[in-house]
Amino acid sequence: MQTAVRTEAPTAPAPGAPVAGISRRRALAESLAPLVVDALIPLAAYYALTDGFGMGTLAALAWSSALPAARTVWGLAVHRRLNGLAALILAVNAVGLVLSTVTGDVRLMLAKESAGSGVVGLVVLGSVLAGRPLMTAALRPWVTKGAPAGQAAWDRLAASSPRFRRAERTFSVVWGGALLAEAVARVVGVYTLPTDTMVWLGNVILGVAVLLAMLVAGALAVDPMEKMVAAEAGTPRAS
């Protein structure tokens, strides 16, 4: 006579349980790490060295380029691929190093402030043409919310959905175009408007460009991608 043995299936953790919350925060932190390490830390280092320690522009650019340079070399040597964000920050700093030697011409000094955003805009647009949208590194963590299910849904959609890939490219096109347009507008303003006006108007142009990029990219890319990822993951979209 045989006795049937009943086994209990393991109970899945309830949604929102502490373990799930910790896992989600860890996933979000890991997805944001490249953006922080490759972009935010070098930028913060530059301003800390110039404003906090009184270091000259040339030296501050050189020191703040150390981490992006190391990350770029490491990616090429170990992973045989180019670290896009690190290489971009390195390129912007290199342009800044070259332009930091420009002195004497007030208008040229004002115009060179647009070099960074212009270089970033061109590189971002070039990355879209190359099929590797650079702004995806900043976009993915916010669309997936760091959730493993969201990240898995992103990967499936990126492999199978032309609409999703088009929205991903659109995000980079909007940001690259906005930054490039800001650089061009600032240069035009420098050489057509009084210099006293451009001292404050340059920052206004940059602020407007960033605000417009956020609104347009949100409507054309972020919102549709969030809906697609939520539907693919089988979860309701967070309000």
Return the domain boundaries, the chain.
Answer: 21-101, 104-239
Question: Does residue 239 carry a pLDDT above 70?
Answer: no
**Residue 39: what pLDDT?**
63
Residues in the chain, total: 239
Q: Is the dihedral of CA 180, 55, 102, 99 positive or negative?
A: negative
C-alpha dist (Å) from residue 197 to 92, 200, 204 = 26, 6, 11
C-alpha dist (Å) from residue 54 to 5, 47, 50, 65, 169 = 75, 10, 5, 17, 40
Give per-residue pLDDT as tens, 10-35.
444 445 545 455 555 665 555 556 65
Question: Does residue 1 carry a pLDDT above 50?
Answer: no
Higher pLDDT, 45 or 221: 221
C-alpha dist (Å) from residue 11 to 4, 16, 19, 113, 149 = 21, 14, 14, 58, 18
Give per-residue pLDDT as tens, 176-190.
999 999 999 988 998
What Rg do the C-alpha atoms of the chain give, in angstroms?
23
148: helix, strand or coil: helix
Spatial CB neighbours of 195, under 8 Å, sequence gap ≥ 6: 106, 107, 110
d(CA 82, CA 93): 17
d(CA 52, CA 46): 10
Nearest to 208 by CA among 89, 117, 141: 117
Say if residues 31 and 141 touch (Cβ distance below 8 Å): yes
d(CA 201, CA 195): 10
Give per-residue pLDDT as tens, 143-161.
988 788 888 999 999 999 9
